[in-house]
Structure 1
Amino acid sequence: MTGKWTKPEAMIFDLDGTLFQTETLLLPAYYATFDQLRKEGLFQGETPPEKHILGALGMLLEHIWQQVMPDYGAEVHRRADELLLNFQLEGMARKEGKLYDGVARTLQTAREQGIKLFIASNGLEAYVKGVIRMHGLEPLFEKDGLYNAGEYQTRSKNDLVRLLLERHQLKSAWMVGDRSSDVEAGHANGLKVVGCDYAGFRKEGELDDADVVINRFEDLLTLIQ
C-alpha cells in the first residue's frame, strides 16, 4: 500500500481470527463436542485433528462440518452445531476466550475518532453476540451492528456485508478480516480491505488481494492517522 487512506465512515470487522483468539474458546468446546457425539452413538473413532476446524474458520457452519467430518450426514452435523455452541456458551460463562492484543484499545480509539463500528461474521447469533458482550465491547459497536449469518440466514459473507451496508446507509467503509471470504466480501461491495495476518488460520495466498495486510491489530490505527 502506498499513500494515505481516507478515514472511513465505518469499519466492518470479522470476529474469529480478527478480534477474537477463537482457539482459546473453541478447542475445549470442540473436544467436548466429540466426546458427547461418541456418548450419543453419533460418531465413532478419534476426534478429527483440530487443524481441520481451525482451517475452516470463517466458513458457514454447514461447510465447516463437511470439512471436519465429511463421512457423516446432516443429522450429525446439526447435532454438532448444537453441542459446539452450548459448550462455547458455557466457556463464555466461565470467562474463557481471549481477544488479540490491543483490540479493545484500538476499537475505542477508532470510535473516539467518529468511526462507526460493525461486526460481520459467519458465526451463530448467540456466539457472536456472546463474545462481544463477554469482553464488554458492546458499547463500542453501533446499535444493531453485530451482523451474523445465523441471525440473518445469509448464504455468504458477501450477502451479509451488502445487507449491513444497505440497512445502515453507509457511504464508505473498510472490511477488516483474516480470510479470503472477508477479502471477497469487501471487494464485492466496493470496500477497501484490511487483511489481518496474525491468527495463523489462513491458507497460503488468502490475503493476496487485500488492499493492505497488517500483522498486529493496533496497526489499523496507522492507516487512519
Structure 2
Amino acid sequence: MLEAVIFDMDGTLFQTDKILEISLDDTFQYLRSMNKWSKATPIDQYREIMGVPLPEVWETLMPDHCNADREKTDAYFLERLVENIRSGKGALYPNIEEVFHFLQENHCSIFIASNGLTKYLNAIVDYYQLGHWLTETCSIEQIESLNKSDLVQRIIKKYGITNGAVVGDRLSDIHAAKDNGLVSIGCHFDFAQKEELAQADIVVGDLIELISVLPELAT
C-alpha cells in the first residue's frame, strides 16, 4: 500500500459548485453596492479557472481593478464562502468516509493540499468532521511561490514520503504529482477538463474507485 495519499479539496473532496455561485453573487453584489462593478457576475469565467490560487482568480476576473480592490474582494469572498459552509449549503462528494476509512485501515496517511486559504479549508474540515482522518491540511498560503507542486514537495519532505499519490481534478494537481515523483489520479468531476485529465496516470469517476485502484499501486 502507498505511504500517503494527498487530496485536493475543491472539486475533489468538496462540491464547491454548491456554494460557489451564491458566494460569488454575494461578492459581486457587494462590489456593485460600492460602484466597483456594473456587469453580470462572471460565474462561467470563474468555473474555467477553478483551482488556481485566489490572487490569480481576481487578476483574471477583475483585470482593470487595482490590487487594493482585489484584496478587499478576496477577503469578502472568503467570508461568504465560510459562512455558506457553516450554514450547511455545501456538500462533500460521495464515499469519502469509506475511502478514508480504507486508507486509515491500511496505514496510509491522508493529506489535503489545496489552493484554498487556510480559513476556508478549516471551515470544511471542521463542519464535516474530517480532522480525525487527516495527518495535515495544507494551504497554498504556506508556500511563498503559490505553486501546488511546491506545496506537495513540502509535505513529502516534512513526512519523509517515498511513495504516494496526488488525487485531484485539475492540471495543477497532476503537475504536483509528476513534479514530485508521485502517481497522479485525476477526478472526472464537476470542474475537470478532459484535456487536463488526459495527462493523469489514472482517472476515476467516483472516489470509491480508489479502494480498488490504490492497492495496485503498492510497491
> What TM-score comes out, normalization by structure 1 length?
0.91
Conservation of the 8 A alpha-carbon contact between 2:152 and 2:180? yes
Deviations 1:51-87 (A, max 9, x none): 1112211101111122223232322211111011001
> Which residue of the partner structure matches residue 24 of structure 2?
30
Q: Are 2:196 and 1:202 aligned?
A: no
Moved more, 215-224 or 67-76: 67-76
Name stretches of at least 5 consecutive residues in structure 2 with no aligned partner: none
**Where in structure 2 are the equivalents of 1:66-215 lying within 5 Å?**
66-142=59-135, 145-199=136-190, 201-215=191-205
Identical residues among aligned pairs (%) = 30
Q: CA deviation at 1:29?
A: 0.8
Shift of 1:196: 0.5
Q: Could you tell me how far 1:9 is from its partner in structure 2?
A: 0.3
The separation in 1 between residues aligned to 2:202 and 2:125, in whole angstroms, is 25
Q: Structure 2 CA distance, aligned partners of 1:108 and 1:26?
A: 28
Q: Give the CA deviation at 1:91.
A: 1.0
Query: Paired residue for 2:213, among 195, 216, 223?
Result: 223
CA distance in 2, matches of 1:17, 1:158: 18
CA distance, structure 1, for counterparts of residue 159 and residue 34 of structure 2 = 44
> Are 2:33 and 1:42 equivalent residues in the alignment?
no
- Corresponding residue number in structure 1 for 2:44: 51
- Check 1:149–1:41 CA distance in 2 against 1; reply closer, same or farther (3 A cut): same
3-state SS of 1:76 partner? helix
User: Could you tell me which amino acid in structure 2 is paired with residue 97 of structure 1?
Assistant: G
1:4 is matched with which residue?
A: none
| Residue 172 of structure 1: how far off its partner (Å) | 1.1
- When the two chains are superposed, the root-mean-square deviation of aligned CA atoms in Å is 1.3
- Mapped partners of 1:121, 1:71: distance in 2: 27
Asked if the contact 2:19–2:84 (Cα under 8 Å) also holds between the matched residues in 1, the reply is yes
TM-score, structure 2 length as denominator?
0.93
How far apart are the structure 1 equivalents of 2:142 and 2:188?
A: 27
Deviations 1:88-121 (A, max 9, x none): 1111221221011111221122112111000000
Read off the aligned partner of 1:155 and give its amino acid letter: L
- 1:24–1:97 CA contact under 8 A, matched in 2: yes
Q: Which shows bigger deviation, 74-83 or 117-126?
A: 74-83
Query: In the alignment, residue 201 of structure 2 is paired with which amino acid?
Result: D
